[in-house]
């Protein structure tokens, strides 16, 4: 299979978002009274105000910022998205037109490959496609210590490739097998069930993958993602893979993030010109897809995302259940009307500028309070970065991570926003520090969440 | 032009956790003290104002003037509820003054009352702010936090220390020992203030005023009528200013707001000083009651009220200029920090306090020779402020 027979679309950019909180295997072992986990293993888990949607924003905004591309179509791949209209929130917060089509794909850990296939085909038809895979699985870690459930997201910009043949998609390398069944069931209440005879499962999986491998070229590089080490080890021992180079599954350093996992595996590899990588994942069946590359490497694992160790499993439990269980979070005033009126404005981070006196406002105005001229405003996209003008650490605002730090931020390019700080401790906050805005979940009321900006230190 | 209004009666309840008294009981108690001092009968009142800022925090009382009418059997006259955040009480006085000066009303009753302790702290104003505010704007602030942002700016610009903040609270609590109507009548050491639980950094629990029940009342008439009534020692309102300088959201979304100035207080003081013909407040005033809802507020107010230059506040405090026996005692009553802050009542209580000093009836805490006093309140994040100048002379 030479790159020439691939569809003319390629991966232009690839970002991975991994939350900063780290839950250690040691803490999990202690909480469940087992030593099932390697004490060195750890998982990246979302903060209390993060979910699959906010993480999708993180990866996607990173990708779009770097490439300055406006996508024609978004494929949003996830099994754990909140049930409200995620497409609209994502488009607004990315500052994209609400008429951009967003296709949500879910159903299996393998839906990543379905999505990848669709995305490549759509790009081959001349569209710039943003594929976003996101998963918030760590709530399942509350009931099952064995599986390395974690939270993560990635975004891949796939563009029509007229000349370069950079990262080629090989449709012929996409195989599906229904021979293996899904050995892991995640219920919506956060509980999990694994079929008891993991050895049976393991052998079924290796057998299925072995059959798949019989139908394709011997992989040069093989990346396999699964939720369990035993299955990975069994696959590694397959004779067809004897001469392949394996990509490490970051299951012990980041954890298992469902449909995002094949992309996390992909992000681990250093690739040389012309390498062909076969990615395989396990879900309702096993799937293998092949990609070839002319880039030296894909985006490396997320850098600059500092790690913060969670102090105890009980604290992790608080973080994970706070939004659902905390009474103040659920009874807080929420209005669909205000949301429809203000959120488009606020999530887009569009300010307004008075045509008469040029003053910039970050929240809606009907009359310019400065020059009192009426209704002469132009839209002014606000910078998503700024400088702390002043702050307060609030010790009595409900949060699993007290205190809540409030930041008054003067934006680069004009305007001021006051938001909560995210992922920082009080001693890191000082007047004059630079921050950038990230999308986070605030409280929910009437089952309606409020997504708004928080600031993280740069 | 001076407003020419006389206070002929003043009343104030005990401030504190008044579990055995209702909202209406507090109205009655404060009103009767004022009415008795004025030497009038209830039916002589021909216009009344009720100040309650947060009816929902109490027992749904105070949504309108009806609750004042019902308590006193005061029917057949106009009664208006005034709500202007923490400036409500002072604004009720201002509205009564204007009605008197227009000739529409001849004997005005102003009652400020708030019943905050009928609900548990979990149902308090702080919870209201967290839960019922705009879904996104300023989400996460408590009242203390909206002043902590001033304190942190003061730390940055003028080197203010947590010690300085504690100095305010220490001074006011010391003053309150002599005020029988204060909520907390206990001296509190500076190190205990610094050690108390952090509420909104850098403000600790004892840098914050408590939620409180209380009421205060005044009877006002025009100067020319003051001799008709029996009160031997009326006092006179010589100037009042009220100014709205920002909305609730503006400071947090407008990069021109500096967080070192309460513009409303500055403007209100300018208006009131001009009316009362005061050019050097530090030497012309005998005492001042200012809005120390949080310790930082009193510090910022020193300069905004023209008592010192911006940035010199901490030195003024450390030099003892504003303590009992100093050049200008500030919050001799104990202030909001010790009396508590029943929001709608506070502005009226301050004027009651000044009145008693000007009359020489302030008991043990009397500021000797007091002739002119200033009362100042503000509401919101310093957004609306009122300054009232009261004198023993017409
Ligand atoms: Zn203008």
Instruction: Encode pLDDT of A302-326 as tens digits.
Output: 544 678 999 999 999 999 988 877 7
Which H helix or E strand runs over B372?
strand B372-379
Task: Compute the nearest-CA separation of B134 from chain A (Å).
Answer: 8
What is the 8-class DSSP label of residue A300? Answer: P
The answer, yes or no, to whether residue A234 has pLDDT greater than 70, is yes
Distance between CA atoms of residues A399 and A203, nearest Å: 45
Predicted TM-score (pTM) of this structure:
0.93
**How far, in Å, are A180, B37, B356 from residue B360 at the CA level?**
94, 15, 6
| Domains of chain B: residue spans and CATH | 5-121+213-228 (3.40.47.10), 125-209+237-391 (3.40.47.10)
Q: Which residues in chain B have their CB less than 8 angstroms from residue A339's CB?
A: 135
Half-sphere exposure of B241 (CA within 13 A, CB side): 24
Length of chain A measured in residues: 458
The answer, yes or no, to whether residue A345 has pLDDT greater than 80, is no
Q: Which of B173, B291, B341, B357 is catalytic?
A: B341
Please answer whether residues A391 and B152 qualify as being in contact, where contact means their C-beta atoms are separated by less than 8 angstroms: yes
pLDDT score, position A261: 93
pLDDT in tens, B137-190: 888 898 999 999 999 999 999 999 999 999 999 999 999 999 999 999 999 999
pLDDT score, position A382: 94
Mean pLDDT in residue range A82-104:
91
Q: Chain A residues with CB-CB distance to B under 8 A?
A: 328, 331-335, 338-339, 342-343, 346, 361-363, 369, 389-398, 403-404, 406, 408, 410-411, 414-418, 420, 426, 431, 442-443, 445, 450, 452
Strand partners, A381: A350
pLDDT in tens, B174-189: 999 999 999 999 999 9
CATH 2.60.40.10 given to domain A331-457 = no
The answer, yes or no, to whether residue A2 has pLDDT greater than 50, is no
pLDDT score, position A112: 86
Length of chain B measured in residues: 394
Q: Which residues in chain B have their CB less than 8 angstroms from residue A396's CB?
A: 126, 142, 144, 199-200
**DSSP per position, A103-143:** EEE-SSTTHHHHHHHHHHHHHHTT--EEEEEEEE-GGGGGT
Task: Compute the nearest-CA separation of B262 from chain A (Å).
Answer: 16
Higher pLDDT, A18 or B287: B287
Give the residue range(s) of CATH 2.40.50.840 domains in chain A.
Answer: 331-457
Mean pLDDT in residue range A347-356:
91
Contact yes or no for B198 and A393 at CB 8 A: yes
- Residue B209 falls in the annotated catalytic set: no
pLDDT score, position B60: 74
Contact yes or no for A406 and B138 at CB 8 A: yes
Distance between CA atoms of residues B241 and B332, nearest Å: 22
Half-sphere exposure of A79 (CA within 13 A, CB side): 22
Contact yes or no for A390 and B250 at CB 8 A: no
| Paired tokens of B304 | 């905004």
| Paired tokens of A209 | 């993958």
Q: Which residue has the tokens 């205060």?
A: B216
pLDDT score, position A279: 86
Phi/psi for B39 (5° steps) reads 70, 35
CATH fold label, A8-323 = Peroxisomal Thiolase; Chain A, domain 1 (3.40.47)
- Residue B86 falls in the annotated catalytic set: yes
* Order of all β-strands in the sheet with A73-77: A9-17, A151-160, A129-136, A73-77, A102-105
**Coil vs helix vs strand at B14:** coil
| Paired tokens of B392 | 């023993």
Q: Which residues in chain B have their CB less than 8 angstroms from residue A391's CB?
A: 149, 152
Q: Using CB atoms, pick whichever of A328, A343, A392 lies closest to residue B130.
A: A328
Higher pLDDT, B365 or A12: B365
pLDDT in tens, A185-227: 777 777 877 665 555 567 777 887 888 888 777 888 888 888 8
**How far, in Å, are A282, B77, B79, B95, B247 from residue B84 at the CA level?**
63, 22, 16, 12, 12
Q: Which residue in chain B is spatially nearest to A332 when comparing CA positions?
A: B131
pLDDT score, position A143: 86
Give the residue range(s) of CATH 3.40.47.10 domains in chain A.
Answer: 8-323
Between helices A52-67 and A86-93, what is the axis angle to 10°? 40
Q: Give which of A406, A411, A412, A425 to mutate to test B binding, by max B Cβ within 10 Å.
A: A406
Contact yes or no for B255 and A389 at CB 8 A: yes
| Partner A, chain B 125-164, Cβ-Cβ below 8 Å | 126-127, 130-142, 144-146, 148-150, 152-153, 156
Q: Which residue has the tokens 């008054």?
A: A408
Which H helix or E strand runs over B169?
helix B162-176
Please answer whether residues A429 and A423 qualify as being in contact, where contact means their C-beta atoms are separated by less than 8 angstroms: no
Measure the CA dihedral B380/B382/B385/B391, to 10°: 130
* Neighbouring residues of A322: CB distance < 8 A, sequence distance ≥ 6: A48, A329, A399, A400
The answer, yes or no, to whether residue A393 has pLDDT greater than 70, is yes
Distance between CA atoms of residues A332 and A339, nearest Å: 14
Contact yes or no for B136 and A390 at CB 8 A: no
Higher pLDDT, A9 or B5: B5
Mean pLDDT in residue range A371-392:
91
* Neighbouring residues of B71: CB distance < 8 A, sequence distance ≥ 6: B24, B27, B28, B31
Handedness of CA A299, A290, A213, A134 (dihedral sign): positive
pLDDT score, position A442: 85
Contacts 24+ apart (CB under 8 A), B363-372: B363/B178, B363/B180, B364/B178, B365/B175, B365/B178, B365/B179, B365/B324, B365/B332, B365/B333, B367/B286, B367/B287, B367/B324, B367/B329, B367/B332, B369/B286, B370/B286, B370/B287, B371/B286, B372/B238, B372/B276, B372/B278, B372/B284, B372/B285, B372/B286
* Neighbouring residues of A138: CB distance < 8 A, sequence distance ≥ 6: A23, A43, A45, A46, A149, A150, A151, A255, A320
The answer, yes or no, to whether residue A182 has pLDDT greater than 70, is no
ipTM of the complex: 0.95
Distance between CA atoms of residues B353 and B290, nearest Å: 11
What is the 8-class DSSP label of residue B315? Answer: H
Digitized pLDDT (tens) for each residue of chain B, 394 residues in all:
678 999 999 999 999 999 999 999 999 999 999 999 999 999 999 999 999 998 876 667 899 999 999 999 999 999 999 999 999 999 999 999 999 999 999 999 999 999 999 887 766 666 776 677 777 788 889 899 999 999 999 999 999 999 999 999 999 999 999 999 999 999 999 999 999 999 999 999 999 999 999 999 999 999 999 889 978 899 999 999 999 998 888 899 999 999 999 999 999 999 999 999 999 999 999 999 999 999 999 999 999 999 999 999 999 999 999 999 999 999 999 999 999 999 999 999 999 999 999 999 999 999 999 999 999 999 988 899 999 999 999 8
* Neighbouring residues of A140: CB distance < 8 A, sequence distance ≥ 6: A147, A149, A186, A190, A191, A192
pLDDT in tens, A241-289: 999 999 888 898 899 999 999 889 888 777 676 777 888 887 767 777 7
pLDDT score, position A304: 45
Q: Which residue has the tokens 């269980």?
A: A325
């Amino acid at each position: 299979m030479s790159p020439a027979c691939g569809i003319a679309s390629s991966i232009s950019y690839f970002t991975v978002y991994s939350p900063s909180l780290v839950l250690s295997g040691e803490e999990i072992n202690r909480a469940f009274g087992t030593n099932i986990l390697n004490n060195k293993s750890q998982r990246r888990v979302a903060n209390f105000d993060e979910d699959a949607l906010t993480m999708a924003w993180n990866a996607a905004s990173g990708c779009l910022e770097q490439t300055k591309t406006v996508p024609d179509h978004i494929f949003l791949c996830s099994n754990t998205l909140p049930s409200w209209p995620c497409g609209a929130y994502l488009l607004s917060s990315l500052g994209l037109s609400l008429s951009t089509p967003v296709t949500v794909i879910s159903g299996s850990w393998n839906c990543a490959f379905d999505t990848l296939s669709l995305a490549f085909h759509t790009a081959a038809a001349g569209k710039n496609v943003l594929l976003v895979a996101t998963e918030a699985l760590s709530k399942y870690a509350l009931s099952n210590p064995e599986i390395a459930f974690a939270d993560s997201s990635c975004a891949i910009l796939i563009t029509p490739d007229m000349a370069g043949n950079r990262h080629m998609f090989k449709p012929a390398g996409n195989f599906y097998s229904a021979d293996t069944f899904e050995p892991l069931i995640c219920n919506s209440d956060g509980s999990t069930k694994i079929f008891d005879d993991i050895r049976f499962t393991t052998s079924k999986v290796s057998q299925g993958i072995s059959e798949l491998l019989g139908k394709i070229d011997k992989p040069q590089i093989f990346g396999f993602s699964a939720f369990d080490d035993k299955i990975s080890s069994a696959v590694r021992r397959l004779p067809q893979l004897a001469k392949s180079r394996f990509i490490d599954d970051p299951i012990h350093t980041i954890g298992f993030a469902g449909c995002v996992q094949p992309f996390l595996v992909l992000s681990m590899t250093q690739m040389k010109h012309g390498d062909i990588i076969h990615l395989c994942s396990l879900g309702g069946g096993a799937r293998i897809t092949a990609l070839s590359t002319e880039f030296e490497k894909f985006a490396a694992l997320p850098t600059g995302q500092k790690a913060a160790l969670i102090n105890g499993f009980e604290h992790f439990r608080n973080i994970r259940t706070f939004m659902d269980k905390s009474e103040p979070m659920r009874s807080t005033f929420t209005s669909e009307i205000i949301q429809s009126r203000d959120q488009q404005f606020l999530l887009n981070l569009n300010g307004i500028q008075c045509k008469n006196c040029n003053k910039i406002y970050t929240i809606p105005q009907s009359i310019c309070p400065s020059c009192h001229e009426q209704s002469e405003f132009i839209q002014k996209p606000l910078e998503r970065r700024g400088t702390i003008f002043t702050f307060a650490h609030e010790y009595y605002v409900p949060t699993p991570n007290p205190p809540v730090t409030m930041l008054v931020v003067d934006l680069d390019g004009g305007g001021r926003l006051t938001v909560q700080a995210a992922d920082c401790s009080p001693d890191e906050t000082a007047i004059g520090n630079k921050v950038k805005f990230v999308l986070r979940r605030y409280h929910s009321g009437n089952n309606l969440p409020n997504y708004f900006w928080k600031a993280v230190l740069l | 032009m001076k407003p020419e209004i006389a206070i002929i009666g003043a009343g104030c309840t005990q401030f504190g956790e008044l579990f055995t008294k209702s909202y209406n009981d507090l109205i009655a108690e404060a009103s009767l003290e004022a009415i008795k001092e004025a030497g009038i009968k209830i039916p002589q009142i021909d216009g009344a104002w009720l100040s309650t800022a947060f009816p929902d925090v109490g027992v749904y009382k105070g949504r309108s003037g009806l609750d004042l009418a019902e308590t006193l059997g005061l029917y057949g006259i106009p009664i208006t509820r005034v709500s202007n955040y923490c400036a409500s009480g002072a604004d009720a006085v201002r509205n009564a003054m204007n009605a008197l000066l227009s000739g529409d009303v001849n004997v005005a009753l102003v009652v400020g009352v708030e019943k905050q302790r009928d609900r548990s702290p979990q149902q308090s104003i702080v919870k209201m702010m967290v839960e019922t505010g705009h879904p996104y704007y300023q989400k996460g602030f408590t009242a203390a936090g909206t002043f902590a942002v001033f304190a942190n700016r003061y730390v940055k610009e003028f080197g203010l220390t947590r010690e300085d903040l504690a100095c305010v609270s220490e001074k006011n609590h010391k003053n309150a020992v002599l005020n029988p109507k204060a909520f907390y009548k206990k001296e509190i050491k500076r190190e205990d203030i610094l050690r108390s639980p952090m509420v909104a950094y850098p403000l600790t629990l004892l840098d914050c005023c408590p939620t409180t029940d209380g009421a205060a009342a005044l009877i006002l008439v025009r100067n020319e009528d003051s001799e008709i009534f029996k009160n031997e020692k009326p006092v006179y309102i010589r100037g009042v200013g009220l100014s709205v300088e920002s909305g609730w959201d503006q400071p947090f979304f407008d990069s021109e707001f500096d967080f070192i100035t309460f513009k409303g207080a500055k403007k209100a003081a300018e208006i009131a000083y001009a009316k009362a013909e005061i050019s050097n407040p530090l030497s012309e005033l005998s005492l001042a009651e200012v809005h120390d809802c949080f310790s930082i507020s009193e510090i910022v107010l020193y300069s905004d009220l023209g008592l010192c230059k911006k940035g010199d506040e901490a030195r003024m405090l450390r030099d003892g200029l504003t303590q009992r026996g100093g050049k200008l005692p500030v919050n001799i009553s104990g202030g909001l920090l010790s009396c508590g802050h029943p929001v709608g009542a506070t502005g009226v209580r301050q004027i009651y306090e000044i009145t008693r000093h000007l009359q020489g009836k302030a008991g043990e805490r009397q500021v000797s020779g007091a002739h002119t006093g200033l009362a100042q309140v503000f509401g919101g994040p310093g957004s609306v402020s009122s300054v009232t100048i009261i004198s023993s002379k017409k």
